[in-house]
Homo-oligomer: A and B are copies of this chain.
Amino acid sequence: MSHGTKVPMPTLERLATYLTVLTDLKMRNVETISSADIETRTGVNAAQFRKDLSYFGEFGKPGIGYDVQELHSRISKILNLENRQPVLLMGAGNLGSALAGYQPLRAENFQIVAAFDNNPAKIGTQLWDLTIKDIATIEEENKLLGARMGIIAVPAAAAQDAADRLVKAKVVTILNFAPVLLKLPPTVTVRNVDFVQELAVLAFHLPDSG
């Protein structure tokens, strides 16, 4: 879904949070939700929630609240998650394995459709329901799979090569777990998750001991 107006990044991040909450409510057959419920479950206040939705049109009915199914379906559509979204996984190590088996991704329509590694000992072995493929075959494989999203879960030293291969295979969005700055064409969108960074920021906040 393309959007004329520029949506702020924090709004996008919160939309993803609302979607997770709505998926949970849907599974528990809850039919309506108020913005006050959203606040309790996400920490986002009701005014902010309504403002976030206002970028995308009219939602909800005054005094009644939001229809869970409808809101879920509309936010899914905004985030391009209405249909299954195929994802390529680079790196079939511990982290790659954890991601490939991570149930909440599937619940939101993300599906890791192929896992690639450059370790001959791993190629051909199973990773959950996938057979690990040689990273050298990614272009060919993705001609059939048509994935436009990729995850990099390889060691830092191999991350740029993995990124280059994803780009060659026509992937345009990358979630990078390697603690390196990837050099990518401007047409590719990347987000970085850095566990060390997250813990280091927390460590800074430790009170002095004794």
Q: Give the interface of A toward B (CB within 8 A).
A: 1-2, 7, 9, 12-13, 15-17, 19-20, 24, 41-43, 78-81, 85, 87, 93-95, 97-99, 101-105, 107-108, 110, 148-149, 151, 155-156, 172-175, 179, 181, 189, 191, 193-209
Contacts and interface: CB of A to CB of B under 8 A. Distances in A.
A5 B197 CA distance: 21
A173 B16 contact: no
Contacts of A206: 80, 148-149, 172-173
Among A102, A103, A151, A200, the most chain B Cβ lie within 10 Å of the Cβ of A200
A17 to B, nearest CB: 6
Contacts of A94: 97-98, 101-102
A110 B199 contact: yes
Given A80-B206, A149-B206, 13 more contacts: A12-B204, A16-B194, A16-B200, A79-B200, A79-B203, A80-B204, A85-B199, A104-B195, A105-B195, A107-B196, A149-B199, A175-B198, A175-B202
A16 B79 CA distance: 30
Copies of this polypeptide in the complex: 2
A149 B102 contact: no
Nearest to A78: B204
A10 B3 CA distance: 28
A71 to B, nearest CB: 15
A83 to B, nearest CB: 11
Contacts of A205: 172-173, 189
